[in-house]
């Protein structure tokens, strides 16, 4: 079937089997390999992307459900020269080990702080349910709190600049 959607800000027209999981469209058809396969059953979160601003697990999300949707993947979260606050925080806390789970976590964390701008530890525990085998949770928690501070700072500088 024909699917029209926006991926990382770019309009896309796709022709594909409607039941194909979004994950494989992203990875194998569009070459966006930052979104990872871990389980294929919505159980690990490695494949987390944003659909209309909400974190979803793309391995279990048929592409037909993305009709007209805004999709964001790790490639669209930020880039090397302009990292998203979450990526910057991840970098400053030196979170990744093997790194395989990290795009999924960063997408989940970015969606979380969009929804809850200053999440408590409790909020983090309840909302970040991805799996990291390397056990980087301890630094991730610190990084999420740091991302909030970075974002806060960015907003302040932005508003200072606009009042100048």
C-alpha distance across the termini of the chain, in Å:
51
Question: Contact region for other proteins (CB under 8 A) — 3-11, 64-72, 131-139, 147-155?
Answer: 131-139
Q: Does 44 sit near other proteins (CB under 8 A)?
A: yes
The single-letter DSSP state of residue 65 is G
Q: Does 120 sit near other proteins (CB under 8 A)?
A: no
Q: How many CB atoms lie within 10 A of CB 43?
A: 14
Looking at residues 85 to 104 of the shown chain, list those that interact with other proteins (rule: CB under 8 A). 87, 90-91, 94-103
From other proteins, ligand FES, none, interface partner of 33 (C-beta below 5 to 8 A by class): other proteins
Distance CA 100, CA 127 (A): 20
Closest CB 164 distance from other proteins, rounded Å: 31
Spacing of C-alpha 45 from chain mean position: 10
Q: What's the token pair of residue 141?
A: 């928690």
Distance CA 29, CA 16 (A): 10
Interface residues toward other proteins, by CB under 8 A: 17, 20-21, 24, 27-28, 33-41, 43-44, 46, 73-75, 77-80, 83, 87, 90-91, 94-103, 106, 121, 124-126, 128-141
């Amino acid at each position: 079937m024909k699917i029209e959607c926006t991926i990382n800000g770019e309009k896309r027209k796709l022709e594909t089997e409607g039941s194909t999981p979004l994950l494989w469209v992203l990875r194998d058809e569009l070459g966006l390999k930052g979104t990872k396969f871990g389980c294929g059953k919505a159980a690990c979160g490695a494949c987390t992307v944003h659909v209309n601003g909400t974190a979803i697990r793309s391995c279990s999300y048929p592409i037909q459900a993305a009709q007209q949707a805004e999709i964001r993947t790790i490639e669209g979260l930020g880039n090397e020269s302009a990292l998203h606050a979450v990526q910057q925080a991840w970098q400053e806390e030196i979170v990744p080990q093997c790194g395989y789970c990290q795009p999924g976590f960063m997408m989940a964390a970015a969606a979380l702080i969009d929804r809850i701008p200053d999440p408590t530890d409790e909020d983090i525990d309840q909302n970040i349910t991805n799996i990291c085998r390397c056990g980087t949770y301890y630094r991730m928690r610190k990084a999420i709190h740091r991302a909030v501070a970075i974002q806060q700072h960015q907003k302040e500088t932005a508003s200072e600049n606009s009042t100048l």
